[in-house]
Amino acid sequence: MSESEFQPTERTQVKRLPKRGHYDRETVYGILDSAFVCHVGFSVGGQPYVIPTNYGRTEDTIYVHGSAASRMLKTLSGGVPVCVTVTHVDGLVLARSAFHHSVNYRSVVILGTARLVEQPAEKMEALRLFTEHVMKGRWDDVRQPTEQELKATTVLAIPLEEVSAKVRTGGPVDEEVDYSLPVWAGVLPLETVAKEPVPDAMRKNDPPLPDYLKNHLR
């Protein structure tokens, strides 16, 4: 296995439709970097939870953050196993039969254990990554976090070690006998599109719209 690929493990090897599995860093990074919401799964006392949150990535580490009072972050900082997923839905695949309907998607699953970020410089860099991941160019425009805000924020680092991606593309795959049915079949592409920015009603001045908002694409 080359350095450009993650080593699949028994837990991350795609077993259902293995041809859709991807382990190369280019695919994994591309999926992670073009989204900004992940779902974090963990279990407490036998009760599973899946919590949506923002994240940022640098190299083979993703960071999640939130209030120091967060149950999720307190639990994960104690070494509880975690599963992080990111998914893009790219289209609805409409087949001629109900059975063969599907979705075109790109997804990543990360398994591991989170590390509490305590070193101030790494913590600040993680907060910069979050901000830049959601809106590139924003960090230099805004007030930086204060010492009190840093204390009120918990940051966790999750290594990209056990990782796999799964991707479906293309049109429907019907049974041969169904291709003659008078039913429309194909793909309805889906995408998230940025709309016109809405200024804060509480603004006290009216600076020009930043270029990163004028030209925002994801």
Residue pLDDT, tens place only, 187-199: 999 998 888 888 8
For residue 190, tell me if it sits in a domain: no
For residue 218, tell me if it sits in a domain: no
Q: Is the Cβ–Cβ distance between 215 and 197 less than 8 Å? A: no
> In DSSP terms, which residues pair with 167 in a beta bridge?
106
Per the structure block, which two tokens stand in for 98?
């109900």
Residues 72 and 42: their CA atoms lie apart, in Å, by: 8
Residues 115 and 113: their CA atoms lie apart, in Å, by: 7
Percent of the chain with pLDDT over 70: 99
What mean pLDDT comes out for the span 91-113? Answer: 97
Length of the chain: 218
| From 37-41, 187-191, 200-204, the region with the lowest mean pLDDT | 200-204
What mean pLDDT comes out for the span 47-75? Answer: 93
Structural domain harbouring 54: 18-89+102-171
For residue 73, tell me if it sits in a domain: yes
- Lookup result for tokens 């972050």: 73
Amino acid at 21: G
Domains in the chain, number: 1
Alpha helices in 34-142 (DSSP H): 71-76, 120-134
CATH number of the domain within which 68 lies? 2.30.110.10
pLDDT band at 218 (very low <50, low <70, confident <90, very high): low
Q: Is the Cβ–Cβ distance between 109 and 161 less than 8 Å? A: no
Q: Read off φ and ψ for residue 64, nearest 5 degrees.
A: -120, 155
pLDDT of residue 1: 46
- pTM exceeding 0.85: yes
- Which tops the pLDDT comparison, 109 or 8? 109
What mean pLDDT comes out for the span 161-184? Answer: 96
Q: What is the dihedral of CA 69, 63, 127, 135, to 10 degrees?
A: -120
Strands 61-67 and 21-22 come out as: unpaired
